[in-house]
Chains A and B, each alone.
Chain A
Amino acid sequence: MPEKVLMKGNEAIAEAALRAGCRHYFGYPITPQTELTAYMAKKLPKMEGGVFLQAESEISAINMVYGVAGTGKRVMTSSSSPGISLKQEGISYIAGADLPAVIVNVQRGGPGLGGIQPSQSDYFQATKGGGHGDYHLIVLTPSSVQEMADLTSLAFDLADKYRCPAMLLADGTMGQMMEPVALPEEKESGIEKPWAVTGTQMKREHNIINSLYLSPEVLEKTNFERFERYAEIEKNEVRYESYMMDDADYALVAFGIAARVAKNAITAMRKEGLKVGLIRPITIWPFPKKAIREAADKVKGFVSVELSMGQMIEDVKLAEECLRPVVLCNRAGGMIPSVDQIIKVTKELAEGGKN
């Protein structure tokens, strides 16, 4: 077990990315993720082959990511909500060109410029598209500084494995808070990338990276093939934490900072005899549908705890197939649900006030 160090979540992502072999970073500063950009600015220029570039805009940064991804090198960009909106066109192109890349969104309140306090209101954007066309991102949601590091490492591996962009969807709290973290070991990708554009040396055919297919038959074929890979991801890569669910009568569903508050609420409610557990999605695409569906056979209802006006709740409802009531416990605009609020909403559900 490596020695634990104290780090901000944003810095843990940056250091984990470097240890995963990422030597190319392109970004543009924005609160509350700026420490990540700053960390890369400090470290990358001193590393062998390291490239840090503060682009003139987020649109520029994501297209630089597209370029490097085509060479097969590990590459990352990061931003916060408004900046991630600007990147959507590029993300769609990267998905359309079947390239691996890691995109970090340390969310803040929106819409528009919104505020600088934490939020989870980019759930739809991250999981349902964001950019145009039929595509998905693998979306990972850290709930501690340790996971900020671990899931960054995983994001690079999954992106390479499935040739698709992966997103780390954090929130301002996760980015700003410090916790002890055991940093992952240095490693190489280890995944062959015969598709990369690295120069043919006159020894092979040209590799071409593109997302333009003017023949609808061919374009359709690329879509179907991509969705076969998505089916593999849904089969193999669903991750979640099941917390005190064995005897639970009610299930909270929450990720990121909301899951941390939810755990405190569960401790408090169990002291009063109310058996509540938590299903914490770690991947929100693919969403842990099966875990929710199985829980629906055991629990009397679900509470979706979110820092948004209610986005993940739609996936919870789809997954539990209308078997149980699903209620929302939320704050928005940079506010965070409190332990007391979660207890109140759960008790209302338990008393049958809502169905």
Chain B
Amino acid sequence: MTTQILIAGFGGQGILFSGKLLAYKALSEGKELSWLPSYGPEMRGGTASCSVTISDEPVGSPIIDNPDVLIVMNLPSLDRYESTVKPGGAIFVDSSLVGRKVQRKDVEAFYIPATKIAQDIGASNLANIVLIGKVLKDSELSRGYLEEALKKVVSAKHPEMYDLNLKAIDAGYNYIEE
């Protein structure tokens, strides 16, 4: 099985980091994977996206034209990528930041106010991780090996961030849509 995940938003929202978390999770699971960032020259602002392919087979092209899973953290990204998702695929939307609903009927749409939840749990810069929690719950990805992956991506200089990230994952994983 091959799962292609596209994560998109503004630079600075942790788009690449959340992709890295999924990549390390796949590595821990012993799967094949590729992680490909796309961004402009700026450190913050601008648009950023990250393509993660996870597969039981060697990965062909790391470039994703039609994702199985789309995760969006701003409106321009939903506008740009909604039409590219495979029929039967899933779109995860940070509804704190994106005002509109998914228009397509042939994909599953999940809405989670990730930015607000992150603020509520005292992790205002971890909306990306809250979203990933929701993705692990409702997509074909599982929660297995999450802790192993988190240990690898959280900076050794900030070990306290591990617990906070885990809290953000749980907040997203346990969120029930209204």
Q: Which residues of A contact B (CB under 8 A)?
A: 4, 6, 31, 116, 173, 176-180, 257, 260-261, 263-264, 267, 336, 338-340
Asked if A261 contacts B63 (CB within 8 A), the reply is yes
Given contacts A6-B23, A260-B60, A267-B60, whether A116 and B36 have CB atoms under 8 Å apart is no
Q: List residues of chain B with CB within 8 A of the CB of A338.
A: 63, 65
Which residue of A173, A257, A336 has the most chain B CB atoms within 10 A of its CB atom?
A173
Say whether B103 faces chain A, with CB atoms less than 8 Å apart. no
Q: List residues of chain B with CB within 8 A of the CB of A340.
A: 65
Q: List residues of chain A with CB within 8 A of the CB of B40.
A: 116
C-alpha gap A264/B53 in the complex (Å):
13
Asked if B34 contacts A179 (CB within 8 A), the reply is yes
Asked if B63 contacts A4 (CB within 8 A), the reply is no
Q: List residues of chain B with CB within 8 A of the CB of A336.
A: 63
Asked if A177 contacts B62 (CB within 8 A), the reply is yes
Asked if B60 contacts A263 (CB within 8 A), the reply is yes
Minimum Cβ distance to chain A for residue B89 (Å):
17
25 pairs, CB–CB < 8 Å, chain A vs chain B? A6-B35, A6-B152, A31-B41, A116-B41, A173-B36, A176-B36, A177-B35, A177-B36, A177-B62, A178-B20, A178-B36, A179-B33, A179-B34, A179-B35, A179-B62, A180-B32, A257-B62, A260-B62, A260-B63, A263-B60, A263-B61, A264-B61, A338-B65, A339-B61, A339-B65
Specify the chain A residue showing the minimal Cβ separation from B20: A178
B:21-48 near A, CB below 8 Å: 23-24, 27, 32-37, 40-41
C-alpha gap A339/B61 in the complex (Å):
9
Which residue of B23, B35, B40 has the most chain A CB atoms within 10 A of its CB atom?
B35
Q: List residues of chain A with CB within 8 A of the CB of B23.
A: 6, 178
Asked if B35 contacts A178 (CB within 8 A), the reply is yes
Q: List residues of chain A with CB within 8 A of the CB of B35.
A: 6, 177-179
Q: List residues of chain A with CB within 8 A of the CB of B41.
A: 31, 116
The 7 closest A-B pairs by CB, nearest first: A178-B35, A264-B60, A260-B61, A261-B61, A177-B36, A263-B60, A264-B61
Minimum Cβ distance to chain A for residue B7 (Å):
14
Specify the chain B residue showing the minimal Cβ separation from A179: B34
Q: List residues of chain A with CB within 8 A of the CB of B152.
A: 6
Specify the chain B residue showing the minimal Cβ separation from A263: B60
Say whether B141 faces chain A, with CB atoms less than 8 Å apart. no
Specify the chain A residue showing the minimal Cβ separation from B51: A177
C-alpha gap A215/B177 in the complex (Å):
83
C-alpha gap A173/B64 in the complex (Å):
13
Q: List residues of chain A with CB within 8 A of the CB of B121.
A: none
Minimum Cβ distance to chain A for residue B93 (Å):
26
C-alpha gap A249/B167 in the complex (Å):
55
Asked if B27 contacts A180 (CB within 8 A), the reply is yes
Specify the chain B residue showing the minimal Cβ separation from A267: B60
C-alpha gap A257/B51 in the complex (Å):
15
Minimum Cβ distance to chain B for residue A209 (Å):
40
C-alpha gap A61/B113 in the complex (Å):
50
C-alpha gap A267/B23 in the complex (Å):
24
Minimum Cβ distance to chain A for residue B4 (Å):
11
C-alpha gap A178/B37 in the complex (Å):
9
C-alpha gap A6/B20 in the complex (Å):
9
Q: List residues of chain B with CB within 8 A of the CB of A263.
A: 60-61
Q: List residues of chain B with CB within 8 A of the CB of A261.
A: 60-61, 63
Q: Which of B20, B37, B61 is within 8 Å of A176, CB to CB?
A: B37
Which residue of A6, A31, A116, A338 has the most chain B CB atoms within 10 A of its CB atom?
A6
Asked if A179 contacts B59 (CB within 8 A), the reply is yes
